[in-house]
Chains A and B, each alone.
Chain A
Amino acid sequence: MIAFEHVGKRYGGRFEALANIDFRVRRGEMVFLTGHSGAGKSSLLRLIMRLERPSRGKVRVAGHDIAGLHASQVPFYRRQIGVVFQDHQLLFDRDVFANVALPLEIQGAEPREIARRTRAALDKVGLLHREKALPIELSGGEQQRIGIARAVVNKPALLLADEPTGNLDPQLSADIMTLFEDFNRIGTTVLVASHDLALIARLRHRVLRLGDGRLVGDQEAS
């Protein structure tokens, strides 16, 4: 599903964020990406989302070298990836339903289809009863679950999460991770960047470890 082939990323010619990253994630896998902050986790995710292009090497997603995508194709590529952000990036001027429906609106789905799939996604994260609420009225954990509902509403083949539990207490973090495992069980490839090592260790999935922009560990699922 994801293949990094000797990927390097430099910013401004000097700072080397990633160097010689080489790994593959199979379709349907669930993988954690760890490392201290500044190790290059976010850069790696940005490469997959094609917010950046590699300075060296190739990034392939679903078999395509995504650096070769034309600017006009990039939006359509991004629609196949669900992304969960640490700060969830909800829009506070509209209600929960509208936030979750946003990816479907962008794709131009039928209104009935939008309603059905949005409610299904909200149901999956257990917040169907809050569809009319404004994001500001929700707790941090609820906001993050809305962010996850938005990421999965169009059933992406690939789900990325950047520190999804960064601001949550351990119990809520565990709940969020369980949610990711649920999506993985129905076939979604999941890549979660996190530095919550204790939680990751308990979940027994494959772990990629970054250190100073290099891949320093690849521990298979146990």
Chain B
Amino acid sequence: MSERENAQAASGTSRRGARSQRTVMRSRLSAWARHHRAVGRDSATRLIRTPVASLLTMLAIAIALMLPTALWLTLDGARLLDTQLDESATLTAYLESEVDEREAMRVAEALGATPAVEAIRLITAAEGMAEFQQALGLEDALDRLTTNPLPASVVISPRDASPDAMRTLAAELEAVSGVDEVRVDLAWLERLKRLAELGRRVTLALGVLFGLGVLLVVGNTIRLAVESRRQEIEVVTLLGATHGFVRRPFLYSGAWYGLGGGLLAWGLLALGRQWLSAPATALAESYGASFAMPALDAMGSATLLISSTLLGLLGAWIAVSRHLADIRPQ
């Protein structure tokens, strides 16, 4: 045989070898997928066969998931309010009282030209008086004044509405000639932001705590399931089942419990929203504000369901790993 024939023969064998290896891999993969399907179905059937017990477990999971989710939704609503507040955060520059209308326009333009200023609105002394009268409803009393005691003012929307930036800007604007005083009321804004931050942290802490709760609920349920299928575990271990094979049905049960709990939580949240929506809107309207109850969007719903499923899976994993070690064939 020539060298070339030799090489061809060798490469032919290795190609065949690779092909049969691929076939083996493929059949192993399909066996694995088949087992997953079968076990997934079987675990679901087991849960359905004991509907009350399964539902109670899922309800416990749902309640644990609902509280942090509801809190998070509320905060999300508050965050929306927060951005609106940022947009409406303004400074007011009161001009010196001797500044006349034309001079006021010039000062306003100068203020508007400052880089950190987004927009300005000039309120002349006369306009200020009109607004004041309208707001107080004291037209008669004010009519008796012979001169207008109000100065012209400029309402300034800053580019950056953070408290620090607003404070710096106020100092800067005060130096402009013709400006008497710049007012910025930051205290309440800062307080609100701190409150929101506190709320976020509380939600996170509660989320972690209730997540642990879900792990415990699923873990305990799976522990009992492992115990009740002890003989089966012993037998399949003797017949050469791998850890993965033994663990798989319990992991699927855990994932189903988690998913069921997540769906239940989702449904209960939607119901709760329905129930609270009318009175909350009425309350907001009585303050002259428009308010929509926050709802879970597609992203939020997916996050809820995926994290609940993963929590169930993790809880099952911990329980099975802990308890399989105790089960050794006798």
Contact = CB atoms under 8 A, between A and B. Distances in A.
Interface of chain B, main secondary structure: helix
Interface of A: 49, 51, 72, 75-79, 83, 89, 91, 93, 102-103, 105-111, 150
A106 B245 contact: yes
A108 B31 contact: yes
Interface residues of B, number: 21
B240 A78 contact: yes
B242 interface: yes
Interface string B132-164: 000000000000000000000000000000000
B45 to A, nearest CB: 12
Contact of A75 (B28, B232, B234, B240): B240
A101 to B, nearest CB: 11
A76 B240 contact: yes
B34 A111 contact: yes
Given A78-B238, A107-B240, A89 B245 contact: no
Contacts of B241: 75, 106
Nearest to B238: A83
Contacts of A150: 239
A102 B238 contact: no
Contacts of A102: 235-236, 239
17 contacts: A72-B242, A75-B242, A75-B243, A77-B240, A89-B234, A89-B238, A91-B232, A91-B235, A93-B232, A102-B236, A102-B239, A103-B239, A103-B240, A105-B35, A108-B31, A108-B34, A150-B239
A182 to B, nearest CB: 22
Given A78-B240, A106-B241, 10 more contacts: A51-B328, A51-B329, A89-B231, A89-B238, A91-B232, A91-B235, A106-B236, A106-B240, A107-B240, A109-B31
Interface in B29-73: 31-32, 34-35
Contacts of A77: 240
Interface in B234-283: 234-243, 245
A150 B238 CA distance: 12
A111 B37 CA distance: 13
B27 interface: yes
A75 B104 CA distance: 90
Nearest to B235: A89
A49 B32 CA distance: 25
Contacts of B245: 75, 106
A35 B17 CA distance: 50
A108 B28 contact: yes
Contacts of B329: 51
A113 B237 CA distance: 22
Nearest to B330: A51
A193 B235 CA distance: 19
A110 B329 CA distance: 27
A45 to B, nearest CB: 11
A117 B163 CA distance: 78
